[in-house]
Structure 1
Amino acid sequence: MNTLTRFAAAGLALALIQPAHAGLEDLLKQGEKILQEQTGTRSSGTQVPSGLDTATLAKGLKEALRVGGERAIEQLANRGGYANHADVRIPLPGVLNSVAGLMRDYGLESQVDAFEASMNSAAEQAIGVATPVFVDTLEQMTLDDAKRIYSDGDTAATEYFEEKTRAELSTRLTPLVEQAMGRAGVTQAYQLLVEQAEVQIPLFKGMSPNLGNHVTDAALDGLFLRLAQEERKIRENPAARTTDLLRDVFGR
């Protein structure tokens, strides 16, 4: 077996074990959650200040989400907002990401880099669509929702937001991502990369996933990660409470 064939077989093996690995990760996450519940290690969130009425609390929580959302979207929509940050950078889709190093070794480095750059650029151009969805969701939050979220964990508001908005954001974001990918040359770069990868490594044939769905899902993962970070800052750091309402509700 020659070197190229061995690498191709290794790439295929990685692709085949991905589902099993994902299943193991799910089991580990479930076990961690159960352990946290049993040992009381789950974050307790923020204590409701004495004398604070529920209506003011709800306004403050909505303000926190509005401010956190604006900050998160602004960071990601900037040039390099995804591409220049490892925790949100969008990787190659599916099996291609598992063997990106192999493709670079076989002379596809420029194609891989161009594809990654244009894919992240498309997400940066499209993510602004989240702003009106955030605003609409804030208007629908009830007083009971707000009181529960306030004291239920340091990222409880983000979790609520993701549950309520992810499906709609995906629907709105996907066509914008696809349009941005067309303008940025993502589709062309992807086709070129896949075609050349299939020539070099025939086992890649038929393994290319839906690119629009991949970029949209990864872009939303990055958005909710950034929102969770901003929520934690507001709950934990007085300097992040940049309005009077935030200071009244979360402390000065």
Structure 2
Amino acid sequence: MIKKTLLILSAFVFITIFSGCDTLNQVAQTAGGALGNPSAFEIASALKEALQQGTNKSSDKLSATNGYFGNALVKILFPPEAQKAEQALRAIGLNSLCDNVILSLNRAAEDAAKEAKPIFINSLKQLTLQDATNILFGGEDAATQYFYRTTLNQLKEKFRPVINNSLSKVGATKYYGDVVTAYNKIPLVSTKLNPDLSDYVTQKAIEGLFKEIGKEEINIRQNLSARSTTLMQKVFGYADTKK
């Protein structure tokens, strides 16, 4: 009788343990508790939610004061061809002039980042069901690459005039012009600097924006807590089961 009771208890514990494992596995695979496979429409809708969340957060972060300047990942420094000039000018005590250039470049980029949202929203309107599926299963940077393909030219067109105006407004044009003048006057300087900053700052501002979008995409793909809606939880939870 005792043996029979022990056998029954053992069987009960065995079933309970493995049932629990199955339950935990099911919860993990349906991330967020959403049951069933998502439809193509749900995938597209969830991707739009995720993409809008990521781009809004990135644009807001970078367009804030010190969004670029205070972020080592995207901070804009002297153009590569001018870094030798920066070193030479700092060596003769013109640190403040060089610091003013760097700050003003980043302020211009922060101004330009405010213009990104409408461009990304327009790109999302053109997202097809196939685009959404490709992005969902296309790897950790698939959404970032989609935005890069569909918005790069518009971002350049929109950013450049804003950056031109901002460079003048925040004094970058004057500061950098002063740097160029001071450096070009140094005896034995063989390569003269070009004072045009617009193309360089536009390029670096856009590069920084996509770096931030890439970070947000990885966050949504890897962290359940970053999936802010039930639909996102369902769709990305489904994607998790296919890894």
Q: Which category of TM-score, normalised to the shorter sequence, fits these structures?
A: 0.7 to 0.9
Q: Give me the whole-angstrom Cα distance separating, in 1, the residues matched to 2:126 and 2:113.
A: 22
Taking structure 1 as the reference length, the TM-score comes to 0.77
- Partner residue of 1:175? 161
Superposed displacement of residue 98, structure 1: 4.4
Q: Indicate whether 1:239 and 2:234 are aligned.
A: no
- Residues in 2 aligned to 1:94 and 1:158: alpha-carbon distance in whole angstroms: 26
For 2:149, give the aligned amino acid. E
How many matched pairs?
Answer: 204
1:213-224 aligned within 5 A: 213-224=199-210
- RMSD between superposed Cα atoms in Å: 1.7
- The residue number in structure 2 matching 1:163 is 149
Tell me how far 1:115 sits from its aligned partner: 0.6
Q: In the aligned structure 1, how far is the partner of 2:228 from the partner of 2:200? A: 35
Whole-Å separation in 2 of the counterparts to 1:98 and 1:236: 41
Q: How far off its partner does 1:178 sit?
A: 0.7
SS of aligned partner of 2:206: helix
Measure how far apart 1:128 and its partner are.
1.0
SS of 1:164's equivalent in the other structure is: helix
Query: What is the match of residue 52 of structure 2?
Result: 66
Deviation at 1:106, TM superposition (A): 1.8
2:198 equivalent among 188, 209, 212: 212
Offset from partner CA, 1:219-250 (integer Å, 9 cap, x none) = 00000000000000001001111222222221
Task: Determine the structure 2 residue equivalent to 1:131.
Answer: 117
Counterpart for residue 136 of structure 2: 150
66, 69, 77: which one pairs with 2:63?
Answer: 77
Q: In structure 1, what is the Cα distance between the partners aligned to 2:170 and 2:151? A: 27
Structure 1: runs of 5+ lacking an equivalent: 1-48
**Superposed, which structure 2 residues align to 1:188-203 within 5 Å?**
188-200=174-186, 202-203=188-189
TM-score of the pair, normalised by structure 2: 0.79
Output one character per residue of 1:37-87: Cα deviation in whole Å (capped at 9) or x when no partner: xxxxxxxxxxxx962111110111111110000110111011111011111
- Does 241-250 or 67-76 show the bigger shift? 241-250
By how many angstroms is 1:199 displaced? 1.2
Task: Please list every run of 5 or more consecutive structure 2 residues that lacks an aligned counterpart in the other structure.
Answer: 1-34, 239-243
Structure 1 counterpart of 2:67, one-letter code: G
Are 2:93 and 1:107 aligned? yes
1:8-40 CA-to-partner distances (Å, cap 9, x unmatched) read xxxxxxxxxxxxxxxxxxxxxxxxxxxxxxxxx
Deviations 1:98-131 (A, max 9, x none): 4533321122211110010011011111211110
Displaced runs of 4+ in structure 1, greater than 6 A? none
Q: 1:204 deviation in Å?
A: 5.9
For residues 155-189 of structure 1, what are the alpha-carbon distances to aligned partners after superposition, in whole Å with 9 as ceiling and x for unaligned?
10001101110111001110001111111011011
The counterpart of 1:91, out of the listed 77, 88, 100, is: 77
Question: 1:236 and 1:120, CA in 2 relative to 1: closer, same or farther beyond 3 A?
Answer: same
Letter in 1 for 2:57: R
Identity of aligned residues (%): 33
Which one-letter code corresponds to 1:81 in the other structure? G
**What amino acid does structure 1 have at the position aligned with 2:54?**
G
Kindly indicate whether the alpha-carbon contact (under 8 Å) linking 1:111 and 1:193 is maintained by their aligned counterparts in 2: yes
Q: Is the 8 A contact 2:54 2:216 kept in 1?
A: yes
> Cα distance, 1:210 vs. partner?
3.2
CA distance in 2, matches of 1:110, 1:201: 21
Q: CA deviation at 1:97?
A: 2.2
| Bigger shift: residues 192-201 or 72-81 | 192-201
Residue 209 of structure 1 deviates from its aligned partner by 5.9
Trace 1:38-57 onto structure 2 (pairs within 5 A): 51-57=37-43
